[in-house]
Amino acid sequence: MDKVYEAALLLDFYGQLLTKRQFEILDLYLNNDYSLGEIAEHLNISRQGVYDNIKRGRAMLDRMEEKLGLVHKFCGRR
């Protein structure tokens, strides 16, 4: 499965478990195809801050998928 598509599915399934800021940044990055610079400018934070939030948010999504496996089950039923 394509990594961007998988990440978007993880965000759909587990996004509400992230902080509001992490969800907003990941949504802009994955679903709206914003660059790190565009997100930083839009939210008035540094590019490093955007990168760190994406990294932490993605790690949290991956941990939730390891524990619950909802995306794997969803894809298996399709």
Per-residue pLDDT tens digits for 24-60: 999 999 999 999 999 999 999 999 999 999 999 999 9
**What average pLDDT does the chain have?**
93
Contacts of 63 (CB under 8 A, 6+ apart): none
C-alpha span between 38 and 40 (Å, rounded): 5
Average confidence (pLDDT) over 53-72: 95
Token readout for 27 is: 């949504």
Residue ranges and CATH numbers for the domains of the chain are 3-77 (1.10.10.10)
